[in-house]
Protein backbone atom coordinates (compact mmCIF):
# COMPACT_ATOMS: atom_id res chain seq x y z
CA UNK A 1 0.00 0.00 0.00
CA UNK A 2 1.34 3.41 -0.97
CA UNK A 3 1.79 5.85 1.91
CA UNK A 4 2.03 9.61 1.93
CA UNK A 5 4.97 11.04 3.89
CA UNK A 6 5.08 14.69 4.89
CA UNK A 7 7.98 16.49 6.57
CA UNK A 8 7.38 19.90 8.10
CA UNK A 9 8.54 22.34 10.77
CA UNK A 10 7.78 25.83 11.96
CA UNK A 11 9.47 28.06 14.50
CA UNK A 12 6.64 29.76 16.39
CA UNK A 13 5.68 30.94 19.86
CA UNK A 14 3.97 27.81 21.22
CA UNK A 15 3.48 28.09 25.01
CA UNK A 16 0.53 25.67 24.75
CA UNK A 17 2.66 22.83 23.39
CA UNK A 18 1.47 20.41 26.10
CA UNK A 19 -2.13 20.78 24.93
CA UNK A 20 -1.00 20.26 21.34
CA UNK A 21 0.56 16.93 22.31
CA UNK A 22 -2.80 15.54 23.45
CA UNK A 23 -4.66 16.92 20.43
CA UNK A 24 -2.20 15.48 17.92
CA UNK A 25 -2.10 12.07 19.60
CA UNK A 26 -5.91 11.88 19.51
CA UNK A 27 -6.07 13.01 15.88
CA UNK A 28 -3.28 10.65 14.84
CA UNK A 29 -5.14 7.71 16.34
CA UNK A 30 -8.36 8.74 14.61
CA UNK A 31 -6.77 9.24 11.18
CA UNK A 32 -4.26 6.38 11.50
CA UNK A 33 -1.32 8.75 11.07
CA UNK A 34 2.10 7.54 12.26
CA UNK A 35 5.44 9.28 12.64
CA UNK A 36 7.50 11.46 14.94
CA UNK A 37 6.47 14.93 16.10
CA UNK A 38 8.60 17.16 18.33
CA UNK A 39 6.88 19.99 20.18
CA UNK A 40 8.33 22.78 22.29
CA UNK A 41 7.92 26.42 23.17
CA UNK A 42 9.69 27.34 19.93
CA UNK A 43 7.36 25.40 17.60
CA UNK A 44 6.94 22.06 15.84
CA UNK A 45 9.19 19.68 13.88
CA UNK A 46 7.79 16.49 12.36
CA UNK A 47 7.68 13.73 9.80
CA UNK A 48 4.41 11.82 9.51
CA UNK A 49 2.93 9.22 7.21
CA UNK A 50 -0.42 7.63 6.47
CA UNK A 51 -3.15 7.52 3.86
CA UNK A 52 -3.38 10.58 1.61
CA UNK A 53 -6.73 11.51 3.17
CA UNK A 54 -5.56 10.96 6.74
CA UNK A 55 -2.42 13.05 6.30
CA UNK A 56 -4.41 15.80 4.56
CA UNK A 57 -6.84 16.06 7.50
CA UNK A 58 -3.95 16.01 9.99
CA UNK A 59 -2.18 18.89 8.23
CA UNK A 60 -5.43 20.85 7.84
CA UNK A 61 -5.93 20.66 11.62
CA UNK A 62 -2.45 22.05 12.33
CA UNK A 63 -2.68 24.81 9.71
CA UNK A 64 -6.03 25.93 11.09
CA UNK A 65 -3.96 27.63 13.82
CA UNK A 66 -2.75 31.01 12.52
CA UNK A 67 0.77 30.32 13.81
CA UNK A 68 1.06 27.46 11.31
CA UNK A 69 -1.19 28.72 8.52
CA UNK A 70 1.73 29.37 6.16
CA UNK A 71 3.88 26.45 7.31
CA UNK A 72 5.65 24.81 4.34
CA UNK A 73 5.87 21.04 4.00
CA UNK A 74 7.52 18.44 1.80
CA UNK A 75 5.54 15.45 0.49
CA UNK A 76 6.63 12.14 -0.99
CA UNK A 77 5.21 8.67 -1.46
CA UNK A 78 6.53 5.22 -0.71
CA UNK A 79 5.41 1.60 -0.58
CA UNK A 80 7.93 0.89 2.20
CA UNK A 81 6.98 0.69 5.85
CA UNK A 82 7.98 4.04 7.29
CA UNK A 83 6.87 4.35 10.92
CA UNK A 84 5.41 1.81 13.32
CA UNK A 85 3.73 4.24 15.73
CA UNK A 86 2.94 7.89 16.34
CA UNK A 87 5.35 9.45 18.83
CA UNK A 88 4.74 13.00 20.03
CA UNK A 89 7.73 14.16 22.07
CA UNK A 90 8.23 17.27 24.20
CA UNK A 91 11.63 18.98 23.95
CA UNK A 92 13.26 22.20 25.10
CA UNK A 93 14.23 22.76 21.45
CA UNK A 94 12.57 21.35 18.34
CA UNK A 95 16.06 20.86 16.94
CA UNK A 96 18.68 20.68 19.69
CA UNK A 97 21.57 23.11 19.37
CA UNK A 98 21.95 23.67 23.11
CA UNK A 99 22.73 27.38 22.95
CA UNK A 100 20.34 29.76 24.73
CA UNK A 101 19.14 32.83 22.88
CA UNK A 102 19.35 31.49 19.31
CA UNK A 103 16.02 32.45 17.73
CA UNK A 104 15.50 32.03 13.96
CA UNK A 105 12.32 34.11 14.18
CA UNK A 106 14.51 37.10 15.15
CA UNK A 107 17.57 36.67 12.92
CA UNK A 108 18.25 34.10 10.21
CA UNK A 109 20.41 33.69 7.11
CA UNK A 110 19.38 34.46 3.54
CA UNK A 111 17.20 31.79 1.95
CA UNK A 112 18.31 30.48 -1.44
CA UNK A 113 15.86 28.73 -3.75
CA UNK A 114 16.93 25.37 -5.25
CA UNK A 115 16.95 26.93 -8.73
CA UNK A 116 19.61 29.45 -7.58
CA UNK A 117 21.64 27.09 -5.40
CA UNK A 118 24.03 25.79 -8.08
CA UNK A 119 25.11 29.31 -9.01
CA UNK A 120 25.71 30.27 -5.39
CA UNK A 121 27.81 27.26 -4.43
CA UNK A 122 30.11 27.63 -7.45
CA UNK A 123 31.15 31.11 -6.22
CA UNK A 124 34.85 30.72 -5.27
CA UNK A 125 34.35 33.04 -2.29
CA UNK A 126 31.67 30.81 -0.77
CA UNK A 127 32.43 28.27 1.94
CA UNK A 128 29.93 25.43 1.44
CA UNK A 129 29.07 23.59 4.67
CA UNK A 130 27.02 20.47 5.29
CA UNK A 131 25.38 20.94 8.72
CA UNK A 132 24.31 17.29 9.06
CA UNK A 133 25.86 14.44 11.03
CA UNK A 134 28.59 12.05 9.89
CA UNK A 135 26.30 9.12 8.98
CA UNK A 136 24.16 11.43 6.82
CA UNK A 137 27.11 13.01 5.03
CA UNK A 138 28.61 9.61 4.21
CA UNK A 139 25.50 8.61 2.26
CA UNK A 140 25.49 11.73 0.07
CA UNK A 141 26.32 15.45 -0.05
CA UNK A 142 26.91 18.37 -2.42
CA UNK A 143 30.13 18.46 -4.43
CA UNK A 144 32.88 20.28 -2.54
CA UNK A 145 30.96 20.61 0.74
CA UNK A 146 32.82 20.79 4.03
CA UNK A 147 31.96 17.90 6.36
CA UNK A 148 31.79 19.03 10.02
CA UNK A 149 32.32 15.41 11.23
CA UNK A 150 29.71 15.82 13.95
CA UNK A 151 27.72 13.03 15.57
CA UNK A 152 24.87 15.32 16.62
CA UNK A 153 23.75 18.88 16.02
CA UNK A 154 24.80 20.08 19.48
CA UNK A 155 28.44 19.73 18.29
CA UNK A 156 27.84 22.44 15.66
CA UNK A 157 28.95 25.29 17.93
CA UNK A 158 32.36 23.70 18.55
CA UNK A 159 32.79 23.11 14.82
CA UNK A 160 31.86 26.72 14.05
CA UNK A 161 34.32 28.02 16.64
CA UNK A 162 37.20 25.72 15.68
CA UNK A 163 36.80 25.55 11.90
CA UNK A 164 34.59 28.33 10.54
CA UNK A 165 35.83 31.23 12.67
CA UNK A 166 39.38 30.76 11.34
CA UNK A 167 38.37 30.38 7.71
CA UNK A 168 39.52 33.15 5.32
CA UNK A 169 36.16 32.85 3.57
CA UNK A 170 33.52 34.89 5.40
CA UNK A 171 30.58 34.02 3.13
CA UNK A 172 28.97 30.75 4.20
CA UNK A 173 26.37 28.66 2.37
CA UNK A 174 24.90 25.78 4.36
CA UNK A 175 22.39 23.02 3.83
CA UNK A 176 20.64 20.24 5.74
CA UNK A 177 17.90 17.68 5.11
CA UNK A 178 14.78 19.84 5.37
CA UNK A 179 16.04 23.28 6.40
CA UNK A 180 15.48 23.38 10.16
CA UNK A 181 19.09 22.86 11.29
CA UNK A 182 20.25 25.53 8.85
CA UNK A 183 17.85 28.08 10.28
CA UNK A 184 19.35 27.61 13.74
CA UNK A 185 22.93 27.28 12.49
CA UNK A 186 22.65 30.43 10.36
CA UNK A 187 21.13 32.35 13.28
CA UNK A 188 24.05 31.19 15.45
CA UNK A 189 26.67 32.33 12.89
CA UNK A 190 25.03 35.72 12.42
CA UNK A 191 25.16 36.26 16.17
CA UNK A 192 28.84 35.32 16.19
CA UNK A 193 30.47 37.64 13.69
CA UNK A 194 29.47 36.32 10.27
CA UNK A 195 27.82 38.90 8.00
CA UNK A 196 26.89 36.83 4.94
CA UNK A 197 25.18 33.52 5.60
CA UNK A 198 23.01 31.65 3.13
CA UNK A 199 21.02 28.45 3.39
CA UNK A 200 19.09 26.24 1.00
CA UNK A 201 15.35 26.84 1.35
CA UNK A 202 13.56 23.60 2.12
CA UNK A 203 16.86 21.77 2.41
CA UNK A 204 18.18 18.91 0.32
CA UNK A 205 14.70 17.42 -0.04
CA UNK A 206 13.45 20.57 -1.78
CA UNK A 207 16.50 20.56 -4.06
CA UNK A 208 16.04 16.91 -5.04
CA UNK A 209 12.38 17.58 -5.69
CA UNK A 210 13.01 20.58 -7.95
CA UNK A 211 16.33 20.00 -9.75
CA UNK A 212 16.80 17.54 -12.63
CA UNK A 213 19.57 14.94 -12.14
CA UNK A 214 21.39 16.24 -15.24
CA UNK A 215 21.78 19.68 -13.63
CA UNK A 216 22.36 18.49 -10.08
CA UNK A 217 25.39 19.16 -7.91
CA UNK A 218 24.21 16.51 -5.45
CA UNK A 219 26.13 13.23 -5.16
CA UNK A 220 24.68 10.07 -3.58
CA UNK A 221 21.44 9.68 -1.63
CA UNK A 222 19.84 11.79 1.10
CA UNK A 223 19.30 10.15 4.47
CA UNK A 224 15.81 10.63 5.94
CA UNK A 225 14.74 9.94 9.51
CA UNK A 226 12.34 7.07 9.04
CA UNK A 227 12.29 3.59 7.50
CA UNK A 228 12.28 4.95 3.97
CA UNK A 229 15.95 5.57 4.94
CA UNK A 230 17.01 7.53 1.85
CA UNK A 231 15.72 9.34 -1.21
CA UNK A 232 17.13 10.40 -4.56
CA UNK A 233 16.09 12.95 -7.20
CA UNK A 234 12.35 13.31 -7.52
CA UNK A 235 12.18 12.13 -3.86
CA UNK A 236 12.12 8.54 -5.07
CA UNK A 237 13.10 5.75 -2.68
CA UNK A 238 16.85 5.28 -2.39
CA UNK A 239 18.68 1.98 -2.07
CA UNK A 240 20.05 2.41 1.45
CA UNK A 241 18.77 0.35 4.38
CA UNK A 242 19.22 0.91 8.10
CA UNK A 243 21.40 -1.13 10.44
CA UNK A 244 19.49 -1.81 13.64
CA UNK A 245 22.72 -2.45 15.52
CA UNK A 246 24.12 1.06 15.12
CA UNK A 247 21.41 2.95 13.15
CA UNK A 248 23.85 3.71 10.34
CA UNK A 249 22.55 3.83 6.73
CA UNK A 250 24.02 1.00 4.68
CA UNK A 251 25.10 0.97 1.05
CA UNK A 252 25.11 -1.97 -1.34
CA UNK A 253 28.76 -2.58 -0.44
CA UNK A 254 27.87 -2.78 3.25
CA UNK A 255 25.07 -5.26 2.54
CA UNK A 256 27.42 -7.59 0.67
CA UNK A 257 29.93 -7.65 3.54
CA UNK A 258 30.30 -10.87 5.56
CA UNK A 259 29.90 -8.68 8.67
CA UNK A 260 26.34 -7.74 7.67
CA UNK A 261 23.54 -9.61 9.42
CA UNK A 262 20.02 -8.45 8.63
CA UNK A 263 18.41 -6.67 11.56
CA UNK A 264 21.50 -7.21 13.71
CA UNK A 265 24.81 -5.73 12.60
CA UNK A 266 26.88 -4.22 9.79
CA UNK A 267 30.62 -3.69 9.07
CA UNK A 268 30.59 -0.56 11.26
CA UNK A 269 29.26 -2.20 14.41
CA UNK A 270 29.86 -5.96 13.97
CA UNK A 271 32.91 -6.05 16.22
CA UNK A 272 31.52 -3.72 18.86
CA UNK A 273 28.23 -5.39 19.77
CA UNK A 274 28.07 -7.31 23.04
CA UNK A 275 26.81 -10.90 22.93
CA UNK A 276 23.75 -9.81 24.87
CA UNK A 277 22.95 -6.99 22.44
CA UNK A 278 23.53 -9.25 19.43
CA UNK A 279 21.17 -11.94 20.74
CA UNK A 280 18.56 -9.32 21.61
CA UNK A 281 18.66 -7.98 18.04
CA UNK A 282 18.48 -11.49 16.60
CA UNK A 283 15.40 -12.26 18.69
CA UNK A 284 13.84 -8.96 17.60
CA UNK A 285 14.44 -9.82 13.95
CA UNK A 286 13.06 -13.32 14.44
CA UNK A 287 9.86 -11.91 15.94
CA UNK A 288 9.52 -9.44 13.07
CA UNK A 289 9.81 -12.24 10.51
CA UNK A 290 7.28 -14.40 12.38
CA UNK A 291 4.84 -11.49 12.58
CA UNK A 292 5.17 -10.87 8.85
CA UNK A 293 4.36 -14.50 8.11
CA UNK A 294 1.25 -14.14 10.27
CA UNK A 295 0.50 -10.76 8.63
CA UNK A 296 0.60 -9.10 12.03
CA UNK A 297 2.38 -6.01 13.37
CA UNK A 298 5.22 -6.74 15.78
CA UNK A 299 6.81 -3.30 16.13
CA UNK A 300 4.59 -0.40 17.05
CA UNK A 301 1.86 -2.13 19.01
CA UNK A 302 0.11 0.55 21.00
CA UNK A 303 0.47 0.24 24.77
CA UNK A 304 -2.21 1.83 26.95
CA UNK A 305 -1.10 5.06 28.60
CA UNK A 306 -3.21 6.79 31.27
CA UNK A 307 -4.38 10.11 29.90
CA UNK A 308 -3.77 11.72 33.28
CA UNK A 309 -0.07 10.97 32.89
CA UNK A 310 -0.01 12.89 29.61
CA UNK A 311 -1.59 15.92 31.25
CA UNK A 312 0.67 16.04 34.28
CA UNK A 313 4.07 14.94 32.98
CA UNK A 314 6.60 17.79 32.91
CA UNK A 315 8.42 18.65 29.65
CA UNK A 316 11.33 16.34 28.85
Q: Which one-letter DSSP state was computed for residue 223?
A: E
- N-terminal to C-terminal alpha carbon distance within the chain: 35
Contact 58, 31 (CB under 8 A): yes
Active site residues: 176
Cβ contacts of residue 87 below 8 Å, gap of 6+? 35, 36, 37
Distance (Å, whole) CA 147 – CA 155: 13
**Of 94, 2, 17, 6, which Cα lies nearest the Cα of 57?**
6
The pLDDT of residue 315: 35
Domain boundary assignment for the chain: 3-94, 110-218
Helix (H, G, I), strand (E, B) or coil at 153: helix
Distance (Å, whole) CA 209 – CA 204: 8
Q: How many CB atoms lie within 10 A of CB 253?
A: 9
Mean pLDDT by 10 residues, the chain (316 residues): 91 96 97 97 96 97 97 87 90 94 94 97 95 94 96 95 86 96 95 93 96 96 82 90 87 91 91 92 86 62 39 35
The pLDDT of residue 295: 63
The helix-helix angle for 203-210 and 114-121 (nearest 10°) equals 100
The pLDDT of residue 288: 77
Q: State in words which class domain 3-94 has.
A: alpha beta
Contact 228, 237 (CB under 8 A): yes
Evaluate whether the domain defined by 110-218 bears CATH number 3.40.250.10. Answer: yes
Distance (Å, whole) CA 93 – CA 232: 29
Amino acid sequence: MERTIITFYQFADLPDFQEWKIRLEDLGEKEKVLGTIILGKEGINATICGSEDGVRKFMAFIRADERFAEMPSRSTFTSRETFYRLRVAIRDEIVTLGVPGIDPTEVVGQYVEPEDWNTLITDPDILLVDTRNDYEVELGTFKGALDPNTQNFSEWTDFAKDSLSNSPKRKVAMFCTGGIRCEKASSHLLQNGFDEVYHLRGGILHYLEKIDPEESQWEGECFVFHHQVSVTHGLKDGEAVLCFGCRWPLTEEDLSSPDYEKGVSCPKCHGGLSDRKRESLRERQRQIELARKRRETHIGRKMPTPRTALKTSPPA
